[in-house]
């Protein structure tokens, strides 16, 4: 499924980033970083049209030869980025959406842990389990 999952703070620094394999991690840092501009653009352009749905799910941000990068933004301006392999053609929009919903729920529950300090990097075990479950199957 996902080969990289990232959670980005309001101020655009990473709160959490996980790649399916460790040697890919650096490459995905770059991928995630470059997706932030696209997210920003999507958010800003959406407000202009009154009929816009202003959905949290932002859809495909950009495809590269090997990967597809998807984005999602919460009402609290936390951004989620999911990277999947382009060769994986079984993944449809609905599956990507449901992955984001799961990720969002996991993030909300993680934030509600009273010992977590908002804005600090995420070290929750149960959140990690949610992410790992999205990388398997």
Partner 1 sequence: MADDVIFDLLHSEIVAFLHRTTEKDNQDQCINKLESLGFRIGQSIVERFTKESPRFKDDLDIMKFICKEFWSAVFKKQVDNLRTNHQGVYVLQDNKFRFLTQMSSGKQYMEVAPKYLAMSCGVIRGALANIGINSVITAEVSAMPSCKFQIQLQRT
Partner 2 sequence: MSRQAARAGDPRKVNGELFTLTYGALVAQLLRDYEDDEEVNKQLEKMGYNIGIRLIEDFLARSNTSRCSDFRETADVISKVAFKMYLGITPVVSNWSPAGDEFSLLMENNPLIDFVELPDGHNNLNYSNLLCGVLKGALEMVQMDVEVKFVQDQLKGENITELRLKFLKRLEDAVPVGED
SS (H, E, C) 1-43: CEEEEEEECCCCCEEEEEECCHHHHHHHHHHHHHHHHHHHHHH
How many Cα atoms within 13 Å fall on the side-chain side of residue 99? 28
Among 22, 26, 50, 112, binds partner 2 (CB under 8 A): 112
Of partner 1, partner 2, none, which one does residue 125 interact with (CB within 5 to 8 Å by kind)? Answer: partner 2
Smallest separation (angstroms) from partner 1 to the CB of 136: 25
Of partner 1, partner 2, none, which one does residue 89 interact with (CB within 5 to 8 Å by kind)? Answer: none
Residue range at the interface with partner 2 (CB under 8 A); choices 3-11, 24-32, 86-94, 108-116 = 108-116
Of partner 2, partner 1, none, which one does residue 91 interact with (CB within 5 to 8 Å by kind)? Answer: none
* CA–CA distance, 124 with 111 (Å, rounded to integer): 10
């Amino acid at each position: 499924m996902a080969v990289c999952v990232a959670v980005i703070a309001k101020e655009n620094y990473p709160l959490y980033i996980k790649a399916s394999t460790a040697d890919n991690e650096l490459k995905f840092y770059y991928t995630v970083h470059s997706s932030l501009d696209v997210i920003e653009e999507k958010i800003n352009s959406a407000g202009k049209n009154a009929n816009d749905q202003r959905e949290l799910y932002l859809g495909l941000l950009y495809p590269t030869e090997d990967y597809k990068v998807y984005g999602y933004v919460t009402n609290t301006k936390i951004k989620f980025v999911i990277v999947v392999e382009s060769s994986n053609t079984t993944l449809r929009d609905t599956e990507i959406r449901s992955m984001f919903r799961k990720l969002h729920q996991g993030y909300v529950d993680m934030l509600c842990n009273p010992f977590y300090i908002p804005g600090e990097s995420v070290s929750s075990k149960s959140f990690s389990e949610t992410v790992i479950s999205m990388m398997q199957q």
